[in-house]
Amino acid sequence: MKRLQVFVVSDSVGETGDQVAKAVISQFRPSFEETIIRRFPHIQAEEHIRKIVDLAVQQNALIVYTLVQKEMRTLLNELCEKEKIHAVDILGPGLKSMAAFMEEIPLETPGIVHQLDDDYFKKIEAIEFAVKYDDGRDPRGLLQADIVLIGVSRTSKTPLSQYLALKRFKVANVPLVPEVEPPEELFQIDPNKCIGLVISPEKLNFIRKERLISLGLSDDAIYAQHTRILEEIKHFENIAARIGCHVIDVTNKAVEETANVIIEYITSHK
């Protein structure tokens, strides 16, 4: 098998070129055997381009490049043609076609798509918040959260918290168990930012049995027994009533669907 070496050259981080190269290579070598992908990021000087081409000649490498500046693309292409190096321009054709269609000149500014703006930082902050205050770990987070989710085990509290975090909401969630008194902070928050998640006993019974089986345990454990589930749901209903929170039935809802219902409710009750 021929040894394959690919140089990914970029004036930004090189992620786009790397992913495209891997997608193409996988069609020939699914397990990437005898394949080396080397990334050259933040290349913005002609000197660097020349050195990379010289190295590609020495190592018989194929070059894949994502360069937004036309002069840099032209230089790399000319050097590769001169040295008979195979090169693939990923962004050039797209930029040319888009410019012709829009009758505009591209900015040719490297890394715009990866610039860190306020929206990005808010999303990261929300994700870190959801992880920190997942599963009732620290009740103090309930007072800082935009949304508080409560429910019995296996009502998708954690997946919902993460999904809502991607929408830049700070979410904390609390599992409700009859044997454990809920944190006092739960009764101090604005009821309008608390969402109760309920599910039918039959559906929950099925989900819990599947969970036990996946863990290699018996599916007749108390955790999945119908009487236990009814007890937990009754406890949940009592707590939800004490808080006065809105309750959503998640029995036949996907996480995305439930999240949209929550966002609509929270937005309308701010």
Count Cα neighbours of 109 within 13 Å in the Cβ-side half-sphere: 5
In this structure, the answer to whether residues 143 and 105 fall within a common structural domain is no
pLDDT tens for residues 46-77? 999 999 999 999 999 999 999 999 999 999 99
How many angstroms separate the CA atoms of 206 and 197, rounded? Answer: 17
How many angstroms separate the CA atoms of 54 and 187, rounded? Answer: 68
In this structure, the answer to whether residues 250 and 138 fall within a common structural domain is yes
| Structural domain harbouring 27 | 4-114
| Count of beta carbons in the 10 Å neighbourhood of residue 77 | 17
In this structure, the answer to whether residues 79 and 152 fall within a common structural domain is no
Any residues with CB less than 8 A from the CB of 195 and at least 6 apart, and which? 147, 148, 149, 150, 245, 246, 247, 248, 262, 265, 266
The whole-number average pLDDT for the span 179-205 is 97
Count Cα neighbours of 98 within 13 Å in the Cβ-side half-sphere: 10
- Whether the pLDDT of residue 92 is over 90: the answer is yes
The DSSP bridge partners found for residue 248 are 197
pLDDT tens for residues 142-161? 999 999 999 999 999 999 99
pLDDT tens for residues 202-252? 999 999 999 999 999 998 899 999 999 999 999 999 999 999 999 999 999
- Whether the pLDDT of residue 110 is over 90: the answer is no
Taking Cα atoms as reference points, which of 95, 10, 107, 82 lies closest to residue 49? 10
- In which order are the strands placed within the sheet that holds 194-198? 171-175, 147-151, 194-198, 246-249
| Count of beta carbons in the 10 Å neighbourhood of residue 97 | 10
pLDDT value of position 60: 96
DSSP letters for 1-22? ---EEEEEEESS--HHHHHHHH
pLDDT value of position 158: 96
Residue in this structure with the two tokens 């990866």, named with its chain if needed: 114
In this structure, the answer to whether residues 131 and 264 fall within a common structural domain is yes
Taking Cα atoms as reference points, which of 76, 9, 79 lies closest to residue 41? 9
Domain CATH code at residue 128: 3.40.50
pLDDT value of position 117: 64
Q: How many domains does the chain have?
A: 2
Round the average pLDDT of the chain to a whole number and report it. 94
How many angstroms separate the CA atoms of 47 and 65, rounded? Answer: 16
pLDDT value of position 116: 58
In this structure, the answer to whether residues 131 and 223 fall within a common structural domain is yes
In this structure, the answer to whether residues 262 and 147 fall within a common structural domain is yes
Phi/psi of residue 246, nearest 5 degrees: -75, 140
Count Cα neighbours of 219 within 13 Å in the Cβ-side half-sphere: 10
In this structure, the answer to whether residues 22 and 85 fall within a common structural domain is yes
Strand segments (E) across 119-163: 147-151
In this structure, the answer to whether residues 130 and 257 fall within a common structural domain is yes
Among 60, 92, 114, the domain-final residue is: 114
- Whether the pLDDT of residue 178 is over 90: the answer is yes
List % helix, strand, coil for the chain (3-state, nearest 5).
50, 15, 35
pLDDT value of position 28: 94
- pTM for the complete prediction? 0.61
For the chain, percent of residues with pLDDT exceeding 90: 89
